Structure 1
Amino acid sequence: MTDTLEAITPTEAKRLWMETKIDEWSQATEKVERFRVELFVEWLGEQDIDDMRDVSGRTVNRFRLEIKEGIKRNTLGRRISTARRFLSFCASIDAVDPSVPERVEMPSHDETARTESLDDDQAEAALSYLRKYAYASREHALLALTWHTGLRSGTLVALDVDDVEPSQNRLRVRHRPDDGTPLKNAERAERYVAISPEVTEILQDYIDTQRVEVDGADRRPLFTTEHGRAPVKTLRRWFHSATRPCLWGDCPHSRAKADCDAAQTASDASDCPSSVSGHPVRRGAITQFLKDDVPHRAVSDRCNVTQDVLDKHYDARTEGEKTEQRREYFD
């Protein structure tokens, strides 16, 4: 079969793949896929592989073994999945043996990552602490807004200061792909989101006192760093920092604060097993809406998620909790 393959360098194959797929992907997907395939191509270069015909199933397995340290199982799975899609394209242009992508073994999913959720007690404890000791900080504004609305992290990134409408106690969510802030569901995600007077006040105080102004920007991002609009990975770090239980109480993992990097440094907060990123906060908020008997249709519209997906992936209530809520209606 090798005799029928055509020589091509990994870099050239990557360029062709990106050009072929660019019209099919959103900006966010293109960015992620480019990053992952470049990891694979750079690794091939480090192995002195300059011809895709030399890539085999064993090659991909070595890649997997070398990059798995220090990253989560689902992150590893996504990187290997991109490598496999890239190799499938290479097989379609006679650059690798067609059996190679078929032999790529995918890591099993970490199901805990799909079901992780911030519970009501932890959310209220975190918000109470921030309200008292870090009022209107970026972490306070971010967590308060997300817990109150269940917005996606990508939506939080896309918000501008002008999207906060204090007089109406609401946010305006807009899809602006040409300006680098697309929404997951594009125009279908555009909407107004009502917020409480308390959250409005927190956001306004954050904007007035704590928000970092970005020089030379055409728009005024709501969540910023000194480098500009805060990306998802930065929001993730802020979420982890705000949800460490050691901030407001004892460590549930019997760690001494003085000896714990996650407790001492915000940049290491993700090492705390009890801290969470934005998606578990969103999932916890949605679950709390349902526990509070907010109608499914209202939750679906507010959080821009279909009712089927809402039931399947976001409703973290136990069967017992659902039963007791139904009992109130039928009694």
Structure 2
Amino acid sequence: MPLEPIGPEEAVELYLADRESELAQATQYAHSSRLGHFVRWCDEQDIENMNELTGRTLHRYRLWRRRDGNLAPPSEKSQMDTLRVFIRWCGTIDAVPVDLWPKVVSPSLAKGEHARDVMLDTEVAEKILEYLATYEYASARHVTMLLIWHALLRRGAVRALDVDDYDPQEMSLEVCHRPEMGTPIKNKFEGERFIALNDETCAVLDAWLEKRRPDTTDEYGRSPLVSTPQGRVHLTTVQSYIYSVTRPCELKRECPHDRSIDTCDAATERSAASGCPSSLSPHAVRRGAITHWLNSDVPEGVVSARANVSSAVLSEHYDRRTRREKMEQRRKYLNQV
């Protein structure tokens, strides 16, 4: 079949529209963001027709993207993996030769290289929760921190919860995938699960619902568990809660980066908290929580089910125990054999 002319931007739009039903919202956004750099590069190179792409031009894009974004190998790999999938799809609509996609080179990573080590330490997490329980009991930040640290929820799951998903009698949460009403979750229906809660978390949720939760609904008439005066909490708001509460200066008026706390935007404005080099993302808090559970001798299968990650992903991306720590945990079972 002869190739049919199509511009890079239009091709990306068609690709994203075609995959909208099969990709989770966060994945769709990630693909859109990564391919946006490709469209920008094509514009700079005056490439107006996807038919013009060759293995050589794609290699030049890889080098440009590496320099332009100052990318580490794991980031470069994710960028090029997405591009390869896109180019392969383009072959199905006669935008590029069907044998072009294998020429998109992605770096090979050593085992564990793409698993980040940034996480919230257990001792720090306990101090944060103690601070919140003392000064912001049952606040939105307190609730969000507990849901991620204790329930091991992703930020999307925190946002997706409704008031009715919390059962105070059963002391549990039900995590549901509701994409038709704007709250998809990671792994879609396979990510749905019940989560048991401890007394402390239930007490905080009860107080939040009784005294502090803004009585608002979302555009579908649902009552979000974590709400704001405007309705359901946004993903970026969940992030800002965690970035702000993990700043070192939040717990004590000290800055490890020799900044003036009174004039530092990251210290004085919660919306700018991510600008603090020591603040952590919800993902880093969740990673620390998973490691904490594993270090507490909770079986991997239990942690895997609660956090909704496979054993392989749990081991590679979340389990930050050292080999010595794992050995010492196994030692406890020696006398039982």
User: Which TM class, normalised by the smaller chain length?
Assistant: 0.7 to 0.9
- The residue aligned with 1:308 is 312
Compared CA separation, residues 72 and 151, structure 1 to 2 (3 A): farther
Q: 1:198 aligns with which of 175, 197, 200?
A: 200
User: In 1, Cα distance between the equivalents of 2:219 and 2:330?
Assistant: 54
- The residue aligned with 2:245 is 242
User: In 1, Cα distance between the equivalents of 2:114 and 2:276?
Assistant: 15
Q: 1:189 aligns with which of 188, 191, 195?
A: 191
The residue identity in structure 2 corresponding to 1:86 is: F
User: In 2, Cα distance between the equivalents of 1:246 and 1:186?
Assistant: 37
The residue identity in structure 2 corresponding to 1:29 is: T
User: In 1, Cα distance between the equivalents of 2:58 and 2:316?
Assistant: 35
Q: 2:321 aligns with which of 317, 321, 325?
A: 317
Q: Give the match's secondary structure for 1:258.
A: coil
Structure 1, unaligned runs of 5 or more: none
1:27, distance to aligned residue in structure 2 (A)? 4.5
TM-score, normalised with respect to structure 1: 0.82
Compared CA separation, residues 93 and 269, structure 1 to 2 (3 A): same
User: In 2, Cα distance between the equivalents of 1:62 and 1:296?
Assistant: 40
The residue identity in structure 1 corresponding to 2:11 is: A
Q: 2:50 aligns with which of 52, 57, 70?
A: 52
- The residue aligned with 1:277 is 281
The residue identity in structure 2 corresponding to 1:90 is: C
Q: Is the 8 A contact 2:266 2:275 kept in 1?
A: yes
Q: Give the match's secondary structure for 2:173.
A: strand
Q: Is the 8 A contact 2:59 2:105 kept in 1?
A: no
Compared CA separation, residues 267 and 96, structure 1 to 2 (3 A): same
User: In 1, Cα distance between the equivalents of 2:94 and 2:76?
Assistant: 27
1:263, distance to aligned residue in structure 2 (A)? 1.7
1:294 and 2:298 equivalent?
A: yes
TM-score, normalised with respect to structure 2: 0.81
Count of residues in Structure 1 that have an aligned counterpart in Structure 2: 327
Structure 2, unaligned runs of 5 or more: none
Q: How does 1:61-210 map to 2 (within 5 A)?
A: 61=62, 64=65, 68=69, 78-96=78-96, 104=104, 106=106, 111=113, 114-210=116-212
Q: CA-atom RMSD, angstroms?
A: 3.3
1:7 and 2:29 equivalent?
A: no
User: In 2, Cα distance between the equivalents of 1:246 and 1:94?
Assistant: 56
1:328 and 2:332 equivalent?
A: yes
1:33 and 2:21 equivalent?
A: no
Q: Cα deviations across residues 98-155 of structure 1 (Å, max 9, x unaligned)? A: 7875565657879586222211111011111112222222111111221112122222
